[in-house]
Homo-oligomer: A and B are copies of this chain.
Amino acid sequence: MEVTVIPNHTCHGVFAALLCPGHRPRNAAATRTAILDAARERFAAESYDDVGMRDIARDVGVDAALISRYFGSKDDLFLAALDSCTDGSTLMSGDKADFGLRVANEIVFEPKTAEKLKGMAIMLRSIGSTKAAEIVQTTCSARFFNPLEEWISGPDAPVRARLLAGFIMGMSVSRELGGGGFNMDLADCEKMRDRLAPILQGLIDG
């Protein structure tokens, strides 16, 4: 029996978007950034190995082959997604005097999908995968470790930077291990923040 296959969208023209909801007008640049956005979101939520090209393609509403065309290999896409994140410098944009409190607040209270920490979320998700490890290590050094080390710029800056980075990442991992949250009530979260802030600040001050 012959079945008539209905293509995804037969509508066209300038009103296509109105007549046919979900229709994406043909626009390479827009599609490219849509893919990049979806990839960033996926890689922040799942590990390199768990994210499939077809998953990202489905999120965007596009064929997986198009991703390969635009970004090359999966490695290239992963790197592009990581590069498209706001880097660690946003953590260092404010005043040094209240760095500890600012960061502690973000770690404890901001949802894990906070834009500022999305790059770190991606790195933590895929740090275990050997295929992504090299990219993660390189990016982390270039966009997080080194700027932090330069920014704090006191005695033993490398040591203090490594401790800071480790603590920040560790709290993210800890939250992840708790199943996406710290599983504590508000009062305990505040206590955690109040204990964490001076520790971080102490590493900043020297």
A125 within 8 A of B: yes
A67 within 8 A of B: no
* CB <8 Å contact, A129 and B174: no
Q: Tell me if A's interface is mostly helix, strand, loop or mixed.
A: helix
Chain B residues with Cβ under 8 A from A175's Cβ?
Answer: 166
Known: A159-B184, A174-B162, A177-B140. A130 touches B169 (CB 8 A): no
A177 touching B47 by the CB < 8 A rule?
no
- The reply to whether A170 and B159 contact each other, CB–CB distance below 8 Å, is no
Residues of A within 8 A of B (CB-CB), count: 48
Is there an interface contact between A163 and B49, defined as CB atoms closer than 8 Å? no
Q: Which residues of B contact A168 (CB under 8 A)?
A: 170
Contact with B along A137-175 (1 / 0, CB 8 A): 100110001000000000010111011011111110111
Enumerate 10 A-B pairs (CB-CB under 8 Å) in ascending A order.
Answer: A46-B128, A47-B49, A47-B129, A47-B130, A124-B127, A128-B128, A160-B195, A165-B170, A166-B173, A166-B175
A binding-site residues for B, Cβ under 8 Å: 46-50, 123-131, 136-137, 140-141, 145, 156, 158-160, 162-163, 165-171, 173-179, 182, 184, 188, 191-192, 195-196, 199, 203
